[in-house]
Amino acid sequence: MALREEQILRYSRQILLREVGGRGQEKLLAGGVRLTATGEAGLTAAAYVAAGGTAVEAGPELLAPGTEGFLVPAEEVGRPASEVFARVLPDVNADALPARGTGRLAELPAVWDGEGPWVALGGDGMRGVVVFRGAGGCTGCFEATTAALGAPPSGALGVGLGALGALVLQRLLLGLGPVLGACGWEAPGVLTDLGVRRCGRCG
Amino acid sequence: MHEVTRTLDITREVCPMTYVRTKLVLESLDEGAVLEVVLRGEEPLKNVPRNAREEGHEVLSLEPRGDGTHRLLLRKQGGG
């Protein structure tokens, strides 16, 4: 898929990044995720993923207070995410509108399916946690890790966690980094690598 | 003398598109190919060779053309 002239202009600053370039931007545009989220973390992640050119297909969940941002106008809070995205995405970034790809981006608790990449946004009571799995990553270890976590934090910590989740998802789409892992995010912006729980097969 | 594989004119571009255009063409070339870039102004004169070098490409030459533009020759290296 060759980049169109308007895409070269829109994504020029991403193309400049050594890890992205034109070919990487094509991968971001070819990818897509189904979103299951109602809060700050998931909607912040969705906003950055959509702005980067990757398709985001939202579910029927009702958007919670706190999700207002450049993707969700304040008057849309309380409405189904799928309806809001259908109205808003053509203006934010039409490249993110047509459903495609096999990725999942979800706030915990969630059900996981499809080939991936998978990015889970959760929390353990002290911090926000991103658990991720790319193609080839063990689904059992991913689910064992997410099973130990609760819902993601709200407020500023949730917004930061969402931004981190978007970056992790984009790295998976670009084929960068490990295919399975977890990282913690806590105030005032401390990122830590976390271990992944091993499933019965890998343990 | 280097055999030029492709020529790119960025004299009408401004930052960051000067290097974006250069980078996209470099990505499309085979390793070892030589890209001739025609550029104008201080910003691309400084930034395009520097960015290309930082991404691992070889700057073969940079010389004025006598009409206010410069001719930059880059050799594509692997990966970029």
User: What ipTM is given for this predicted complex?
Assistant: 0.91
Q: Is residue B3 annotated as a catalytic residue, yes or no?
A: no
Question: Residue-wise pLDDT tens for chain A (203 aa)?
Answer: 799 999 999 999 999 999 999 999 999 999 999 999 999 999 999 999 999 999 999 999 999 999 998 789 999 999 999 999 999 999 999 999 988 889 999 999 999 999 999 999 999 988 999 999 998 999 999 999 999 999 999 999 999 999 999 999 999 999 998 999 999 999 888 999 999 999 999 98
Cβ within 8 Å of residue A131, ≥6 positions away: A119, A120, A122, A142, A145, A146, A149, A181, A182, A196
Q: Tell me if B23 sits within 8 A of A22, measured CB to CB.
A: yes
B17/A3 CB distance under 8 A = no
- Nearest partner of A150 among A139, A161, A137, A135, judged by Cα: A161
Q: Is the dihedral of CA B45, B46, B52, B53 positive or negative?
A: positive
A16/B24 CB distance under 8 A = no
Work out how many CB contacts closer than 8 A connect A with B: 26
| β strands within A110-196, DSSP E | 118-123, 128-133, 180-186, 190-194
Q: Is B20 on the interface with A (CB under 8 A)?
A: yes
Dihedral angle, C-alpha A171, B79, B52, A19, nearest 10 °: 0
A12/B24 CB distance under 8 A = no
DSSP secondary structure code for residue B46 in this structure: H
CA within 13 Å, CB half, A37: 35
Element (H, E) at A157: helix A155-174
All residue ranges of chain B with pLDDT < 70 are: 79-80
How far apart are alpha carbons A13 and A20 in whole angstroms? 10
Chain A: closest CA distance from residue B24 (Å): 6
Q: What residue in B sits closest to A3 (Cα-Cα)?
A: B24
How far apart are alpha carbons A142 and A113 in whole angstroms? 12
* Residues on chain B touching A3 (C-beta within 8 angstroms): 24
